[in-house]
Structure 1
């Protein structure tokens, strides 16, 4: 919620002026809601017990001692911290100032620790395992988000991320099984994503069809095509068409033995390491190269870009193809990067969560990556709480990643401005 008020400014020589103060109450209200939830959980319905947090694995250079936290005392401390930060946020906004990012980070971390401790009770939380699972669930979301950022930065709304991921997963599984080569599977996944993007670009750029409608139709089309071939071909002959080799973990010497972060970041498969390069590459080329400047110019003001000699529609077309290749490559993580075989609709809506990460990250590669990690962490936390038999209905646990997505996009982001020409076809006059 935003409130705009006017305050008299000091009188000038020719009369009195007015100073406009914009107050954004959304964040303090969100803090207040979560403070009320913390009071309800931690004070009204406390859970006795002591939660043990473990940080080290057997292969680490050194061992970090386990930390034991009493549930009731933690809940009281977290509630006090939440109430203090909420009060500070209201005071800052009332005075026309913004709430610092670090204050929101402290609020979120405190409530997260309190919630996990309350949920687990006398159980054990393997921190390194939780973070590794969060990164694993985030990988396809990050690939999809990078494809979404590129597409929307150039002016094309990419709702077809789901189809690109699913097409990449299907193609990589089938080609890797037939050729017994993960390299062929990875290349096939990227090509499949490009094919989906080619259809999106052709209809939205050349034939001026509504981009959102084309994206939704492509998602349904890819789901139907891959589902048909899975039922008709793969399910009847798994050994020949749906038993691909999988990528092994490639631990980086020394780095993989750093406690907590080592096993999480540096003991991964090739697809994860390529993801690191993809995020850095998209950021660098988008903001530090002439090509990136042209892409952003086309997405913001295509007519002005055309005036200075940038070919708007070809730039959009090729950028969308590159975006599709990135998303399709990420789809291979579902198969040869993880479980191996393809399963019908195995992406389970992660393409839409990737689109939400793009919006939550305000069309910035780094911020979109952080948003994707947040959604992946929500999924990993849901799995952990389910395994530890937390006193939360299983239906709510299954909804947790999607609730976090809705809350992040609607509750924290609210109204946000994307590229000005995103979703608008360009017709050269």
Structure 2
């Protein structure tokens, strides 16, 4: 540090732009000169550029830490494998890095697979979590630091939907809250910027779409699947421009999931998704279905939206058989910048292997990667939500409204394994 005066500002910024955001935050305390440099738009842009070149998989894990039902969220990440097929091993290994344990003011945000009762979203470095159980307060969290903001309470029917998006022009995050199609209340929106956290009413036509999916934000547009919006199609993709707060619609022929495929909206589905959806809709058990279809070929369909105005799609179909790929235990995490589609296990059990799968559509190849380092943070089986292309952003750390900091995790308190280290 004493010799730092002999280094130019450009060289210091070039060196420190390669460090984690937590380290940069600590180095701001070295001097006023360093604090000024690291707060500059140039350095923040340089840091994001470096971080974007090293995207990570982000794991949001929810479960009981203790036998006394202490329900918390924990965040981990691991380097994202952009070219996993160059290796010859049938199973690769990646180490998970622990970031923070998150249980804001005992809100008890329980995970559910039903989007009417639970929402989780990722946008430009922040996580949004909302659960209707108990207090039901929405929370926005920085998964790298644990800083968070509890959003203002608002009246909703017990079934509600909410989505999280980012406007890359004005650099504002927004939460879109949609009332249940058969419930009272209003559709509302909240902006996380430099102003106050307040809900505003927002109009959508028609006002009561039946929502069928989580949301995904791509280049400032938030997409989610719905039914009952237009008569021409049974299903439509609702497109919400985060900056202008306007709605448009894209018709699709069937139930599907939405992903960001190389910067474009894509829909992805298994050939038998509608059969599974119908079974779940009528509250039936899927076990019988899976038992009857253990040897079924995995038939994956991917449609990429090439032209939004003309609603022109490029459609692809892939089939493979692989005895190590169990669809019933997996969720679709998304696609990497190079086009690999990532599947992740839905649950983690201590001392049991946890896998993610990288599928390359161009090569029609599948690579399994074992994630190690989760340790024994949870006493029971926990739920895992996986997000692709996670990058660190210093602007996220500097958001004024993320003021609360959860007490730091004491490693010996919850971790018996030495696989992961807290900062």
Indicate the TM-score class for this superposition, using the shorter chain for normalisation. Answer: under 0.3
| More contact order relative to length (CA 8 Å, sep ≥ 6) | 1
If each structure's strand is expressed as a fraction of its own residues, which one has the higher value? 2
TM-score (norm 1): 0.21
Question: Which is higher, the Rg of structure 1 or of structure 2?
Answer: 1
TM-score (norm 2): 0.21
